Amino acid sequence: MAVKIRLARRGRKKRAIYNIIVADARAPRDGKFIEKLGQYNPNLTPAGLDLDSERALHWLMTGAQPTDTARKILSVKGLMLKKHLQVGVVKGAISQEEADKKFEAWSAEKAKARDEKLSKLVSDKDAAKKAVLDAERKKKEGVEAKKKEAEQALIAEAEAKEAEALAAKAAAEAPEATEEAPAAEASSDEAAAEKE
């Protein structure tokens, strides 16, 4: 019986969560399994991973073959390296203490890299959020500026209409005055002509 470490899908549509299981290679994807080792949630940032490392290492050492995706997940947790080191200990190539030291050094380096990556993700997310807020603020300021310009244009247009109306009114009153003035000039001309 070939035993595989693989993923079994569960969760809702387009939001899958996977169980990491040990199953017979002939069993269906979501069917019968031997043991559940953990859970993988790719919907989170960073991806959520809950794994029983001891049991996973036990199954790796007893010959269970991980699928490609499961192998990557086990590598992230360091179980593939741990298996490699443990095989070296069993063969007598290195001692258990040396294997433990190598694994601890690898774990510390991996944790440091993971923390840096997480901080970069968070800072990138904050920068993107800030950029969106700045764009919204600029857009709002532009809309407000356009409203002010439109209001000023309406005020200027109203003032121009008022000035035009006043000028028209003044022009309407002025011709009456000018009509009286030529009549007065004409009467004064007539009076001067009579005197002569």
For the chain, the structural domain boundaries read 3-94
Confidence band for 188, pLDDT divided at 50, 70 and 90: low
Instruction: Note the Cα 6 to chain centre separation in Å.
Output: 32
Q: How confident is the model at residue 36, as a pLDDT?
A: 94
Digit-coded pLDDT (tens) for 104-136 = 999 999 989 988 888 888 888 888 888 888 888
From the list 72, 112, 48, the residue with the least C-alpha distance to 120 is 112
Q: How confident is the model at residue 64, as a pLDDT?
A: 92
Confidence band for 157, pLDDT divided at 50, 70 and 90: confident
Going from the C-alpha of 57 to that of each of 24, 71, 101, 177, the distances in angstroms are 17, 12, 18, 112
Cα–Cα distance measured from residue 52 to residue 91, given in angstroms and rounded to the nearest whole number: 25
Q: 3-94: which CATH architecture?
A: 2-Layer Sandwich (3.30)
The torsion angles phi and psi of 147, rounded to 5 degrees, stand at: -60, -45
Q: What is the mean pLDDT of residues 183-189?
A: 57
Q: What is the mean pLDDT of residues 158-187?
A: 70
Q: What is the mean pLDDT of residues 58-83?
A: 92
Mean pLDDT of the residues in the chain: 86
Confidence band for 176, pLDDT divided at 50, 70 and 90: low
